[in-house]
């Protein structure tokens, strides 16, 4: 079975993409806070969260690897098509816009029987589905949310390493982020190279698109390694 491992990076849309009613809706709770300092803190928090919602953000990068061969592609939005090119077994493909990026992604996805992610069931997959629907990009795989308690066709490592949340938020199998799991299992963390998902908005604004692509690829490579460890040591535990 061909297994596709992927991760996405998202970036908030600019203020001018929303009308006044939408903007007021997003920040309406800020006006209810009395203390100016608390008000500003909450405004900053919501602004950061705009990256996380498919109705307020764009997909700006998708990195993909074949779990067995290590070959793949990184699709990323960039102004200059020359930012793409070969990177060993991985091809970097600069896309003109999000529509082109999503179209290329679903064209690749249709060739795979299974998908592996870290928190893809809770974030990446619904984000891709909704952004594709908004832009009217045909979705070639509509079964990736599927049955939660199954690893086919979607193995979400965040679900597997918490045993489907068996011990809640604070128990022995509580959920950690990818960086924490990588360090615990001796995998090179994607965040150890100076870029995190929190930097994507700024990198986009500065036109540093290739840096986003390389960070996203590091995320996927770490996920591949974590998947290998899960299969060898934990797969099959109920």
CB burial class (10 A; 0-12, 13-18, 19+) of residue 132? buried
Looking at the predicted structure, is the pLDDT value of residue 85 above 80? no
Contact 58, 131 (CB under 8 A): yes
Q: Which residues pair with 64 in a beta bridge?
A: 6, 73
Average pLDDT rounded to a whole number, residues 41-67: 96
Residue 86 has pLDDT above 90, yes or no: no
Is the pLDDT at 238 greater than 80, yes or no? no
Q: CB–CB of 89/66 below 8 Å?
A: no
Q: Rounded mean pLDDT of 153-159? A: 97
Mean predicted confidence (pLDDT) in 69-76: 96
Question: How much is the average pLDDT of 202-214?
Answer: 93
- pLDDT exceeds cutoff 90 at 55: yes
Mean pLDDT of the chain: 93
Separation of CA 160 from chain center: 17
User: Distance between CA 53 and CA 36 in Å, rounded?
Assistant: 26
Coil, strand or helix at 225: helix
Instruction: Please say if the pLDDT value at position 83 is more than 90.
Output: no
Q: How far apart are CA 124 and CA 113, in angstroms?
A: 18
CATH fit for domain 3-233, picks 3.40.630.30, 3.40.50.150, 3.40.50.1970, 3.30.420.10: 3.30.420.10
Question: The pTM is what?
Answer: 0.94
| Span 89-146, pLDDT tens digits | 999 999 999 999 999 999 999 999 999 999 999 999 999 999 999 999 999 999 999 8
Omega before 153 cis (within 30°)?
A: yes
- In this structure, the dihedral spanned by the alpha carbons of residues 223, 226, 231 and 233, taken in order and rounded to 10 degrees, is -170
């Amino acid at each position: 079975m061909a297994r596709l491992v992927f991760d996405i990076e998202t970036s908030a849309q600019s203020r001018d993409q929303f009308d006044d009613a939408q903007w007021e809706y997003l920040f309406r709770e800020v006006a209810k806070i009395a203390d100016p300092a608390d008000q500003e803190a909450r405004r900053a928090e919501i602004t950061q969260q705009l990256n996380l919602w498919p109705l307020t953000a764009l997909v700006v990068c998708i990195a993909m690897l074949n779990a067995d061969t290590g070959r793949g592609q990184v699709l990323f939005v960039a102004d200059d098509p020359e930012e793409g090119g070969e990177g060993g077994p991985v091809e970097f493909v600069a896309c003109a816009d999000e529509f082109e990026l999503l179209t290329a992604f679903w064209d690749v996805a249709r060739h795979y029987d299974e998908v592996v992610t870290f928190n893809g069931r809770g974030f990446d997959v619904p984000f891709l589905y909704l952004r594709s629907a908004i832009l009217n990009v045909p979705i070639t795989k509509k079964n990736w949310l599927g049955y939660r308690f199954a690893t086919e066709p979607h193995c979400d490592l965040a679900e597997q390493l918490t045993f489907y949340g068996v011990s809640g938020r604070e128990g022995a199998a509580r959920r950690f982020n990818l960086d924490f799991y990588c360090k615990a299992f001796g995998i090179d963390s994607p965040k150890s190279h100076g870029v995190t998902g929190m930097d994507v908005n700024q990198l986009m604004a500065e036109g540093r698109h290739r840096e986003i692509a390389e960070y996203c690829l590091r995320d996927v490579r770490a996920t591949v390694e974590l998947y290998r460890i899960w299969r060898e040591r934990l797969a099959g535990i109920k």
